């Protein structure tokens, strides 16, 4: 399934999107969690600025 997603992102309209991964510290346990998302290239900074 991952190959299909990568192939879709490399096609014509998929170049407008980026896969982003953000590391967030959990307030309860103190452990780090990773939040992933596929966002438009124009909204990458917005994704990282949100808490």
pLDDT in tens, 32-44: 999 999 999 998 8
Long-range contacts of residues 19-27, Cβ cutoff 8 Å, at least 24 apart: 20/44, 20/47, 20/48, 22/47, 22/48, 24/51
pLDDT value at residue 1: 47
Q: Which helix (H) or strand (E) holds 35?
A: strand 32-40
User: What's the pTM value of the predicted model, to 2 decimals?
Assistant: 0.59
Other C-beta atoms within 10 Å of 14: how many? 14
């Amino acid at each position: 399934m991952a190959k299909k997603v990568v192939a879709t992102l490399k096609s014509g309209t998929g170049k407008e999107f980026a896969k982003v991964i953000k590391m967030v510290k959990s307030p309860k346990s103190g452990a780090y969690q990773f939040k992933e998302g596929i966002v438009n290239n124009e909204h990458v900074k917005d994704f990282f600025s949100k808490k």
